[in-house]
Structure 1
Amino acid sequence: MIGGAPQEHGEKIADFPSYPAAQKAVTRLIEADIPAKDIAIVGRGIRSVETITGRLGYGAAARSGAINGILLGLLFSALFVLGTPGAAVQLFAGVMLVGIALGMLMSLIVYAFLRRKRDYSSITQLIADHYEVTVLPRSIHRAREVVGGRVGPAAAAPVAAPQQTPAPAPAPAPQPAPPLDAEPPRYGERIDPTPGDTPPAS
């Protein structure tokens, strides 16, 4: 619906890159008994894309008018058949031809007026970068359970990884004892023995 007062869309519960994916999410929500009027699909980053389908010309305009004229002729023929059940087949065919001629004529007239503005046919589409599924606050909790999956109370708790005990550091190697001459004296000064002080061997 275009125009009117802006309506509340609710809170976003999911984000999808394409419109069909958002439609599937809405289908799941409705199947879960969530009120449809509480759900909305909001397109973000809307842009207009015009795809060129071909070049216009009098021939293309005539073909397009002929196709529309066939539908117009079928409508007129149905009205004639309902009005006169005993109508001949020639009348039916004549009405069809008149409808085709009218369709071609109208298409050529329209093209003659628009030929100076554009010489091509195109299809315009509105495309969004992504689509958000929103739900009103009164149904937000249930909707999140449906879209995101319910976590039950008996869900297994994550198992903690076992802690590895660090290996004991190797004991330091024993240091060699210093020579007695290098050891400082405990009391007073060290007096080196002279050769004369050595007692004679017995």
Structure 2
Amino acid sequence: MSNLFGRTRPIDQARVVPTGETIGSYTSYLDAQKAVDYLADEKFPVQHVSIVGNDLKMVERVTGKLSYPRVALSGAMTGAWFGLFIGVMLSFFDGGGQAGGPYLNVLTAVLMGAAFWMLFAIIGYAAQRGKRDFTSTNQVLASSYDVIVTPDVAMDARRLLAQLPMSSTAPRPFQGQGQNHSHQPPVQTPPRPEGWHDPYGSQQPTVEPAPETDGSETARPGQAPLSGPRRGEFPDLPDGRPQYGIRIDTPPAPAEDDSPAGN
């Protein structure tokens, strides 16, 4: 494959789908073309860039219904343009001996072209016998267009496209992608300080021998040792005041009279 302004690529390379890293994915071909044009404006080596269309579909858009008058009019207009071209060409070789000769030749060519092309169009439409009574245009579209570059210049292309305010569905690389991270030491979590207690963490059951106590509650086997006040008990503050609420002194109960009645 070759063009007028570029180099000829090898035949084997033109027969395979380009491979590399996708630096941009767009739903419109014009957006992909704009991205490549921006790279070219930024002096990027665009010979490493390719545009690949995914999920190609052939779309035929119906433009109207055919009929004999429409076919005749379309054929006459096409023939008139063709006859005008032929008449102008013949007017250059006219000797000009007759007054109005060149204009007469052009008019004759236009009329003859319109008549013949109208006749051919009507005959062709009649030969179809109504199997295609509409006009349409064909177009090949893709669901998305990927801008692919070779891996050696992919980072430079991404850096340039990041400055272009266009939406792209291509995944963005994380910072530092493309570098070798195999020699970096693993990140270690700092150790927790001693005495630090996580109230939301899971506690591993511990088994400790029961110390000698004077009858107070101890931890049962398989449970963490009990420390601090029991549930429902709130010790007083160091100055003697209650920790929560106020203290109400309960009046002493009246003493019962054990003397016999009537004494």
C-alpha displacement of 1:35? 3.3
1:41 counterpart letter in structure 2: I
1:32 counterpart letter in structure 2: E
Partner secondary structure for residue 88 of structure 1: helix
C-alpha displacement of 1:69? 0.9
C-alpha displacement of 1:85? 5.8
1:128 counterpart letter in structure 2: A
Partner secondary structure for residue 117 of structure 2: helix
Q: Cα RMSD over matched residues?
A: 2.8
Q: Structure 1 residues 5 and 76 mapped into 2: Cα distance closer, same or farther (>3 Å)? A: same
C-alpha displacement of 1:149? 3.7
Which has the higher relative contact order, 1 or 2, with Cα contacts under 8 A spaced 6 or more apart?
A: 1
1:89 counterpart letter in structure 2: Y
Q: Equivalences for 1:14-25 in 2 at 5 Å?
A: 14-25=24-35
Q: Structure 1 residues 85 and 40 mapped into 2: Cα distance closer, same or farther (>3 Å)? A: farther
TM-score normalized with structure 2 length: 0.52
Quick check: which one's helix share is greater?
1
2:108 counterpart letter in structure 1: G
Q: Which residue in the other structure is 2:7 paired with? A: none
Q: Which residue in the other structure is 1:44 paired with? A: 54
Name the count of aligned residue pairs: 156
Partner secondary structure for residue 92 of structure 2: helix
CA distance in 1, matches of 2:125, 2:35: 44
Q: Does the 8 Å CA contact 1:34/1:139 hold for their aligned counterparts?
A: no
Q: Which residue in the other structure is 2:137 paired with? A: 123
Q: Runs of 5+ in structure 2 lacking a partner?
A: 2-10, 165-233, 248-263
Q: Does the 8 Å CA contact 1:74/1:96 hold for their aligned counterparts?
A: yes
Q: Percent identity?
A: 34
CA distance in 2, matches of 1:96, 1:135: 53
CA distance in 2, matches of 1:72, 1:89: 16
C-alpha displacement of 1:9? 4.6
2:84 counterpart letter in structure 1: L
Q: Which residue in the other structure is 2:67 paired with? A: 57
CA distance in 1, matches of 2:80, 2:163: 53
Q: Runs of 5+ in structure 1 lacking a partner?
A: 151-171, 178-202
Q: 1:97 aligns with which of 111, 114, 122?
A: 111
Partner secondary structure for residue 117 of structure 1: coil
Partner secondary structure for residue 59 of structure 1: helix
Q: Structure 1 residues 144 and 89 mapped into 2: Cα distance closer, same or farther (>3 Å)? A: same
CA distance in 2, matches of 1:100, 1:50: 29
2:20 counterpart letter in structure 1: G
